[in-house]
Amino acid sequence: MPELPEVEHLRRSLESWIQGARIRNVHLERLDVLDWRASPGTLKSDRNQALLQGGRISCLDRHGKQMAIHTEDGRVLCVHLGMSGRMEIARAEDELPAHTHCVWDLLAGRRRIQMRFVDPRRFGGLWTFRSRQKLLSDRWGALGPDAVSLDPESMAQQLRGRSRGLKASLLDQSVVAGLGNIYVDEALFESKLHPRQPAGSLKQVEIGRLTTSVVGILRRAIKEGGSTIHTWADLTGDPGGFSTQHQVYGRGGEMCTTCGQRLSSAQVVQRTTVWCSKCQTIKRRKRWEI
Ligand SMILES: [Zn+2]
């Protein structure tokens, strides 16, 4: 499943292809990938208009695991890749892959290219907005701060008063946007914090360590192009390079790279969670106030 580093990697690659391009035509192959509540009408012409037809692409941005494509006239298309979604750039004459749900014909300089939204399992989708402001008020406003831009102050603010465990809290997109199973386990291991430690019970020094780990791991993963997990591949079809660096994710029962003890694995908030019970102990604290 694409997480923040994969989406950021995609955003950068995609931007290098489509920034400044003119959208000549849009073909929505499957209506239900578009969220109707955020769309202006049911006519095909309205739909295509909302899907940026006729616009020139000014920039792409991202919040958490969601990406947005902006046109110069202010329209916005928000893309969520879900479990198996991807955006592809291809030549117009290249065969459409199975499960292509939307195609944009682009003129980039003098080149005619296509951008394609492909999503076999259809947990992803497209949302259209009249303006960046509508995107923020109607969709991104519900998300917590973007995980890669966290600092200790914003992390402390997001975790304050929470009795749920760190794993549950960090996976909650309204607390922090962009973290998934892999990077939460990796960050908790690196910062020596137990997945079930109540999120509101951390000391300032632990919040600092956690923030450094979250941001550091995400930055490294972005640089490497994300993790190679299941169906994920970036635009060029290259698998990401980060998976070789996982310390705990997918390593339940193997040796801890720090102390050599066998790593524990269990379901925490219905997600397979791996940690070292020697390096990451739960700290019992009477009071949560720091
Ligand atoms: Zn250990």
For the segment 220-248, what is each residue's pLDDT rounded down to a tens digit? 988 887 554 433 445 555 555 555 578 99
CA of 246 to the centre of ligand 1 (A): 14
pLDDT band at 11 (very low <50, low <70, confident <90, very high): very high
Residue with the larger pLDDT of the pair 4 and 239: 4
CA of 260 to the centre of ligand 1 (A): 6
Residue 244 CA to ligand 1 center (angstroms) comes to 19
Q: Which of 112, 132, 271, 285 is catalytic?
A: 271
Q: What is the pLDDT of residue 253?
A: 96
Write out pLDDT tens, residues 151-181. Answer: 999 999 999 999 999 999 999 999 999 999 9
Do the beta carbons of residue 81 and residue 60 sit within 8 Å? no
Under 8 Å CB-to-CB from 149, ≥6 apart: which residues? 215
Q: What is the pLDDT of residue 232?
A: 42
Q: Please pick, among 3, 6, 186, 206, the residue that the annotation labels catalytic.
A: 3
Residue 2 is among the residues annotated as catalytic for this protein: yes
What's the pLDDT score for residue 242?
56
pLDDT of residue 215 exceeding 70, the answer is yes
Cβ 178 vs Cβ 65: under 8 Å: yes
Single out the catalytic residue among 11, 47, 65, 251: 65
Point out the catalytic residue in the list 2, 5, 145, 198: 2
Q: What spacing in Å lies between the alpha carbon of 191 and ligand 1's midpoint?
A: 12
Q: What is the pLDDT of residue 290?
A: 46
The pLDDT value recorded for residue 227 is 54
Amino acid 221: pLDDT: 87
For residue 281, the CA-to-ligand 1 centroid distance in Å is 10
What average pLDDT does range 111-136 have in this prediction?
93
Active site annotation includes 3: yes
Question: What's the confidence (pLDDT) of residue 45?
Answer: 85
* Pick from 76, 126, 123: nearest CA to 103: 126
Report phi then psi at 162, rounded to 5: -90, 125
Answer yes or no: 65 catalytic: yes
User: Contact, 182 vs 249, CB < 8 A?
Assistant: yes
Compute, in angstroms, the gap from residue 185 CA to the centroid of ligand 1.
13
Distance between Cα 193 and ligand 1 center (Å) = 11
Long-range pairs of 93-98 with CB within 8 A, sequence gap ≥ 24: none
Total-model pTM: 0.88
Statement: residue 288 has pLDDT above 60: no
Ligand 1 centre distance from Cα of residue 262 (Å): 8
Closest CA to 21 of 62, 56, 60: 56
pLDDT higher than 70, residue 21? yes
Catalytic site residue 134?
no
127-150 average pLDDT score: 95
Q: Where are the domains of the chain?
A: 4-142, 147-275
Note the CATH number of domain 4-142: 3.20.190.10
Per-residue confidence (pLDDT) for residue 1, from 0 to 100:
74
CA of 195 relative to ligand 1 center, distance in Å: 14
Cα 198 to Cα 283: distance, rounded to the nearest angstrom:
9
Residue keyed to tokens 């692409």: 57
Answer CATH for 147-275 from 3.40.1670.10, 1.20.120.160, 1.10.3720.10, 1.10.8.50: 1.10.8.50
